Amino acid sequence: MSKNIKNRRREVEADFPPLSAKEIAELKEQVKDIRDPTRYVIVSPFSRRFCLYYCPEHGNYTMNEIPVGALFKRKAEALAVANVLERGRRKRVRKSLRVIAVKKTKRGVRVLEEINDPWQKGERWKPVLRRRET
């Protein structure tokens, strides 16, 4: 039985040519990208305990919770969506949407970046998330 498995494996390996160094490097880069738990979120901060997070999946904002549908894999994508959302606002109003990095964990999401306080210049803080009961 084991000879049959070894022969079958050799036949399958013969069907596929070996990968080049460039292809192996590309695969390693893709695996590294997939395993990276860093995601990006569009946030409209008001205060430490009151932030709105944009969820493109539903097209609305959620307060003090980051749903799974609000996470972007790429920062460029999150910035593009934030710029589109800012277009409909008045011209003289300061841009209020920010893109911050968060880390996906088993229990939810952890905020990695601080936000500039919109009311007090020079002060920075991390948003406080509501804890979910599991």
In a domain, 99, yes or no: yes
pTM listed for this prediction: 0.72
Q: Residue 71's CB: how many other CB atoms inside 10 A? A: 19
Range of the domain at 76: 38-134
In a domain, 84, yes or no: yes
H or E stretch at 113: none
In a domain, 23, yes or no: no
**Mapping DSSP to helix (H, G, I), strand (E, B) and coil, where does residue 78 land?**
helix
In a domain, 14, yes or no: no
Tens-place pLDDT, residues 10-21: 777 777 778 899
Task: Tally the domains of the chain.
Answer: 1
Distances (CA, A) of 119 to 45, 51, 62: 10, 14, 21
In a domain, 5, yes or no: no
In a domain, 4, yes or no: no
Model pLDDT, residue 93? 58
Q: Looking at the DSSP assignment, which residues form a beta bridge with residue 51?
A: 45
Residue pair 42/85 in contact by the 8 Å Cβ criterion:
yes
Tens-place pLDDT, residues 42-99: 998 888 788 899 999 888 998 888 888 889 999 999 999 998 888 866 665 566 788 9
In a domain, 134, yes or no: yes
In a domain, 31, yes or no: no
Rounded-to-10 torsion of CA 112, 67, 53, 33? 50
